[in-house]
Amino acid sequence: MDYRRLGRAGMKVSALGLGTWLTFEHDQAHADELVDAAIEVGINFFDTANTDGRGRGEERLGRALARHRREPLVIATKVWGPMGEGPNEAGLSRKHLVTQCEASLRRLGIDHLDLYQCQRYDPETTLEETLRALDDLIRAGKVLYWGVSGWGPADLDNACRLCEAHNLHRPISYQVRYNLLEPGPLAEILPTCRRHGLGVVAYSPLAQGVLSGKYLTATPADSRLADERAG
C-alpha cells in the first residue's frame, strides 16, 4: 500500500480509504469484515459522517476499529447535515460543530478525530465563526486536522485567507465526488486546492459500482446504486 501526506500536513494516509456511506448502517458483522479486510491490505484511512444512518455508521465503524490498534489509524468524519428537527441541529455554527464533534467522538469510541470535515458550506453562519470553532476544537485536542467538501472555490479562498489573517489552523483536505463518469467536480476545484496546498480525497471512484461492471444486466433492489441517496 502506498501512503501519502494529506495536503501539507505531516499525517500520511493510505492511497485507498474505506468509507461508510450506505454500507455500515445495518450490519455490524459486515462492518467488521470490511474493516478487517481493509486493514489487512494496509488501509489506514477510514471516512464516515455523522449523518450516515443518523450516527449508526459512526457507531459501527467505531466498534469495528476498536478491535485494532488506534495509533496507525486515520479516522475522519463529517459535519453539516441535519441530526434532528431543531433549529440548531444542522449547519456549521459553533454550537452545532462542538455538539456534533462530541457526539461523533462518543459514537466512534475515541478521544480525538484525526480529520473533521465540513461536508457543505453554511451560508447562514459567518465564515469566521466556523473557522474559530474549528480552531478551538483543534487547540482543545479533540480534532487534529480539518477539511472541507462541497465548498466552492471562492469559499475555499476566503477560508484560507481568513485563517492566515487570524493565525487559525487551515484546512488540509478537500473531499470531492470523482470518477470517470463525473470528472467535472474535481476539475472545477483542483486549481484552488493546488493553490492552497490541500490534499484531495476522492469519493465514489467506481460510481456506486457502475464502473465495476456489476450492473451490466440489472440493478438489484438492495444495491447501493438503487439507494435514492446515491444519486
Flag whether pLDDT at 214 surpasses 90: no
Percent of the chain residues topping a pLDDT of 70: 90
Flag whether pLDDT at 209 surpasses 80: no
3-state secondary structure (DSSP) of residue 203: strand
Q: Quick one: average pLDDT of 125-152?
A: 99
Under the banding of pLDDT at 50, 70 and 90, the label for residue 22 is confident
Flag whether pLDDT at 218 surpasses 60: no
**What pLDDT does 230 receive?**
52
Alpha-carbon dihedral angle through residues 118, 200, 208, 22, given to the nearest 10 degrees: -30
How far apart are the C-alpha atoms of 211 and 191, rounded to whole Å?
26
Q: Quick one: average pLDDT of 226-231?
A: 51
Structural domains in the chain plus CATH codes: 3-230 (3.20.20.100)
Q: Quick one: average pLDDT of 41-70?
A: 97
Start-to-end CA span in the chain (Å): 30
pLDDT tens, residue by residue, 187-204: 999 999 999 999 999 998
For 193, the enclosing helix (H) or strand (E) is helix 184-196
**What pLDDT does 204 receive?**
86
Cell 485507498 locates to 16
**What pLDDT does 219 receive?**
55
Flag whether pLDDT at 165 surpasses 60: yes
**What pLDDT does 184 receive?**
85
Flag whether pLDDT at 208 surpasses 70: no
**What pLDDT does 198 receive?**
99
Of 6, 123, 108, 98, nearest to 49 by C-alpha is 108
How far apart are the C-alpha atoms of 84 and 135, rounded to whole Å?
25
Q: Quick one: average pLDDT of 15-30?
A: 89
**What pLDDT does 221 receive?**
53
pLDDT tens, residue by residue, 58-112: 999 999 999 999 999 999 999 999 999 999 999 999 999 999 999 999 999 999 9
165 by Cβ neighbours in 10 Å (0-12 / 13-18 / 19+) ranks as exposed
**What pLDDT does 222 receive?**
53
DSSP state of 142: S
Q: How many residues does the chain have?
A: 231
